[in-house]
Homo-oligomer: A and B are copies of this chain.
Amino acid sequence: MSGDVDPPQDTRLGEFELIERFFSRVPRPDRPDVLLGVGDDAALISVPPNTDLVAAVDTLVAGRHFPHDCAPRSIGHRALAVNLSDIAAMGATPAWATLALTLPSAAAAWLEGFAAGLMELADAHGVSLVGGDTTAGPLTISVQILGHVAAGTALRRSGARAGDWLAVTGTLGDSGAALALATGRLATQDVAAAAAVMQRFDYPSPRVQFGAAARGLASAAMDVSDGLVGDLPKLAAASGLAAEVDVDCLPLSAALQTLVPLQQARQWALAAGDDYELLLAVPPQHWLALCDAARRLDLNLTRIGELCPGNGVRWTKSGAAFAAPAHGYDHFH
């Protein structure tokens, strides 16, 4: 990082000044339910009546969850996006967030980019940053997101029943290609396809609106952050069921299919992670209504399999057993 601001000699005195300078909006996008935002010992929030509060936290570490030379705007976007994806998986409405930002130096240019990426996405989802803590140290970003959902209606991983269909939003595997491009394991002359998958990786779109629309239709949901081979077993186990998936049905983007052979694309779709799509269990009688909801949001929704009694996940291809790859989350080191 470079810039014209001195490193924070004191890690606490500067916290509010940093937050105020880079993460405030004039006029503030603060919601009327934010009774007290950044600047006191804690924030005060009025949670809407008859709702359940939804809380999640995710941390990004430089060199692990993004390359050290990643654009700061992308890091800011991603830090909030991965949390919004958790809120989406509950069918909830995101509302408030806090930011714990540990950074080696308070470089103005870096912070401006980071804040722009985070705040643009926050504004797009009506999220108010209500608090934060800035400390000096190795670049680490934790966002805690708070949201709300009508009492008793949140989607959980555990609600699926035998016979429910399995579906995923959007496309899978693009981030695997982006990681391969970023780390030099994949080269291409197809600039447009490369840009498409890099955009998917650098600026993931959490499926917040669709998650909310799926309440009352889907029986269970979670976000796909570790690849289907990492995540689907968790949903199946939480619901006490087995899952069967036809890998021929996995939704693959045109860009991904342009960049690599189908077999590689499928491997990434299964195991690469970082897609931030939603995995849903859907009672068949709700399928058409859920497809309508996806269509209204211009979002792909693809049936990939179903849930049945038992446990574990069975991967198939043309009706035969398919050897799915082991979980293969990539790190930048």
Chain B residue at minimum C-beta to C-beta distance from A144: B144
CA distance A100 to B57 in the complex (A): 7
A44 touches B154 (CB 8 A): yes
Q: How many residues of A contact B (CB 8 A)?
A: 72
A57 touches B92 (CB 8 A): no
A-B pairs with the 5 shortest C-beta distances? A42-B56, A61-B137, A100-B142, A41-B89, A138-B138
Is A65 at the interface (CB under 8 A from chain B)? yes
Chain B residue at minimum C-beta to C-beta distance from A36: B156
CA distance A131 to B87 in the complex (A): 13
Q: Mark A243-264, 1 if CB is under 8 A from B, else 0.
A: 0000000000000000000000
Chain B hits for A32, CB < 8 A = none
B12 touches A226 (CB 8 A): yes
- In the complex where A11-B65, A13-B230 touch, is A55 in contact with B98 (Cβ < 8 A)? yes
Which of these binds chain B: A46-54, A67-75, A301-309? A46-54
CA distance A49 to B65 in the complex (A): 39
Chain B hits for A39, CB < 8 A = 157, 238
CA distance A54 to B130 in the complex (A): 10
Q: A86 touches which one: B41, B45, B90 (CB < 8 A)?
A: B41
